[in-house]
């Protein structure tokens, strides 16, 4: 699938690096099949030294030579990037955007008519090849091209195709979700320290508790509420703790956080 493809990355930040790392470790792609352009020369040199990939002098040359072009840039710079490459895509490469909130319509308007475009919402666990990515295809994307796009993101975790109308909600849930989970992890570790545990012990117990709980949900396929009930004995310690969480509105706060991030994603798309 990848043997003859030349992959171009515009943007070499954390997510771009995660995808490069995943593609090289989990697919038959070779380093000389990947080229990158980033506004930071220092960043490009680091990626070249670390992954032995090729560097491009500018975004236009990279676009002109790529079979698959991955736009790993911030939403605020997307307009400038599209303006710089649109005249160099007459060969109609597959264009993949991982910029949060930027719709297929906006991407299509900034690229030549007929360009196949896939919009992707990855998340930061892709850095350790445990990401959750959703992909929405544009009008001109073939099934074979979508297979390629899915395979790219399966190299860094789980990847599924969704309707574009869900992408803002995905951004609010799995895109921003790692930050919510990290806040919970930090809070549980601090709580253990508050109760007298050494910090390293509290950290190890917290991380294993989360890992074990996720595995339990995945492997049993039971509803989280059913598993919660198994842990919650009448008049016991867990129900007392759950009462505090309900009193403090933790469930509602997490739901509101996802809602707020979803609405912000829509704002970014409109702007």
Give every residue of the chain whose pLDDT is below 70, as ranges. Answer: 1, 271
72 labelled binding-site residue = yes
Sheet order of strands, 117-121 included: 54-55, 34-37, 7-10, 68-71, 94-97, 117-121, 131-137, 157-161
Cβ partners under 8 Å of residue 95, min gap 6: 68, 69, 71, 89, 107, 111, 115, 116, 117, 118
**Options 1.10.3730.10, 3.30.420.40, 3.40.30.10, 1.10.12.10; CATH of 175-270:** 1.10.3730.10
**CATH 3.40.50.720 given to domain 7-167:** yes
10 labelled binding-site residue = yes
101 labelled binding-site residue = no
Where do you find CATH 1.10.3730.10 in the chain?
Answer: 175-270
Q: Are 21 and 51 in contact (CB under 8 A)?
A: yes
177 labelled binding-site residue = no
151 labelled binding-site residue = no
Where do you find CATH 3.40.50.720 in the chain?
Answer: 7-167
pLDDT tens digits, 16-65: 998 999 888 877 789 999 999 999 999 999 999 999 999 999 999 999 99
Provide the pLDDT for residue 64: 96
Three-state DSSP at 70 gives strand
Dihedral sign (CA 54, 56, 59, 64) = negative
105 labelled binding-site residue = no
Rounded to two decimals, the pTM is 0.89
84 labelled binding-site residue = no
């Amino acid at each position: 699938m990848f043997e003859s493809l030349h992959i171009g990355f515009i943007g070499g930040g954390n997510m771009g690096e995660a995808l490069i790392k995943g593609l090289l470790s989990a697919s038959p792609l070779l380093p000389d099949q990947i080229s990158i352009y980033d506004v930071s020369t220092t960043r490009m040199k680091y990626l070249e030294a670390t992954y032995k990939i090729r560097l491009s002098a500018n975004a236009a040359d990279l676009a002109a030579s790529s079979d698959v072009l991955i736009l790993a840039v911030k939403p605020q710079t997307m307009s400038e990037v599209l303006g710089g490459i649109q005249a160099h895509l007459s060969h109609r490469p597959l264009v993949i955007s991982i910029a949060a909130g930027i719709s297929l319509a906006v991407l299509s308007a900034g690229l030549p008519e007929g360009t196949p475009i896939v919009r992707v919402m990855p998340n930061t666990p892709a850095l350790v090849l445990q990401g959750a990515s959703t992909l929405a295809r544009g009008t001109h994307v073939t099934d074979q091209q979508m297979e390629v796009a899915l395979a790219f993101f399966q190299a860094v975790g789980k990847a599924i195709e969704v309707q574009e109308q869900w992408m803002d909600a995905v951004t609010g849930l799995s895109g921003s979700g790692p930050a919510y989970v990290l806040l919970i992890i930090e809070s549980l570790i601090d709580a253990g320290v508050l109760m007298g545990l050494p910090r390293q012990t509290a950290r190890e117990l917290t991380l294993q508790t989360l890992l074990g709980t996720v595995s339990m949900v995945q492997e049993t396929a039971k509803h989280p509420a059913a598993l919660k009930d198994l842990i919650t004995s009448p008049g016991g310690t867990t129900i007392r703790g759950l009462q505090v969480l309900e009193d403090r509105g933790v469930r509602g706060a997490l739901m509101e956080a996802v809602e707020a991030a979803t609405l912000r994603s829509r704002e970014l798309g409109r702007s």
